[in-house]
Structure 1
Amino acid sequence: MAKQLSDNDIETIQAYDAEKRLDYLLKEVVSNREIWILIDDHGSVMLNTEDEDCVPVWPNKEFAEQWATGEWDDCRPESISLNKWHSRWTYGLENDELAIVVFPNPDSDGLVLYPEELDVSLKKKAGKQR
């Protein structure tokens, strides 16, 4: 189980640039064996960039919760086990031609990756942590 983040931790991590947030996400997801999305009654929340339809992902519940406001206040965070991510989500997102926006925060966009790119990065990080 992931440790509860303090408000100070959240504020510090939110200030990271997109690359550092990606690194943090990889470390947390591998360590906690889960990745977070936002869902509503119709499925996963989507973000749109100029080029891609994306599923946003976060490393911790607290960061996903911060997005559940305004037009998304009916959304709730949901964790996906890392095993399920590797076995079903990567393939499913690729089939649906969706990208992933990694750890967006209220002040800046996250990096946009293709599902296979995130999958490979997570597996590399897992290999380094053993």
Structure 2
Amino acid sequence: MLFWSDEAYARQCAIEEWSDYKPSAIPLEEFMNSWLNGMDEDGLLVGVNWNAKLIGLEVEPNVLYKELKETINK
């Protein structure tokens, strides 16, 4: 599943078959505790800040969770 840190990044990917999609914000706590945990349980990967050519980082949800947690606790 793809996620972006900024609405503008998400909008640049809303083209072709995704042109009807509209970005919406997810509170960070909900993203970390609900989305990432659920994706980890389902065996999914997280696509982070992909560009319009669908190139970007792909990580395991638990890895992203740990990185976000470390960044928040700095």
Hey, what does 1:64 align to over in structure 2?
10
Pairs within 5 Å for 1:48-127: 55-107=1-53, 109-127=55-73
Identity of aligned residues (%): 31
Q: Residues of 2 paired with 1:111 and 1:60: CA distance?
A: 15
- TM-score of the superposition, structure 2-length normalised? 0.90
- TM-score of the superposition, structure 1-length normalised? 0.53
Larger Rg: 1
Q: Residues of 1 paired with 2:6 and 2:35: CA distance?
A: 18
Q: What is the SS of the residue equivalent to 1:106? A: coil
Q: Residues of 2 paired with 1:107 and 1:84: CA distance?
A: 28
* 2:45 and 2:58 in contact (8 A); partners too: yes
Cα deviation, 1:33-57, whole Å, max 9, x if unaligned, reads: xxxxxxxxxxxxxxxxxxxxxx111
Flag the structure with higher strand content. 1
Cα deviation, 1:48-68, whole Å, max 9, x if unaligned, reads: xxxxxxx11111001101111
The gaps in structure 2 that reach 5 residues or longer are none
Runs of 4 or more consecutive aligned structure 1 residues displaced over 6 Å after TM superposition: none
The gaps in structure 1 that reach 5 residues or longer are 1-54
Q: Which has the higher contact order (CA 8 A, sep 6+)?
A: 2
Q: What is the SS of the residue equivalent to 2:37? A: helix
* 2:36 and 2:61 in contact (8 A); partners too: yes
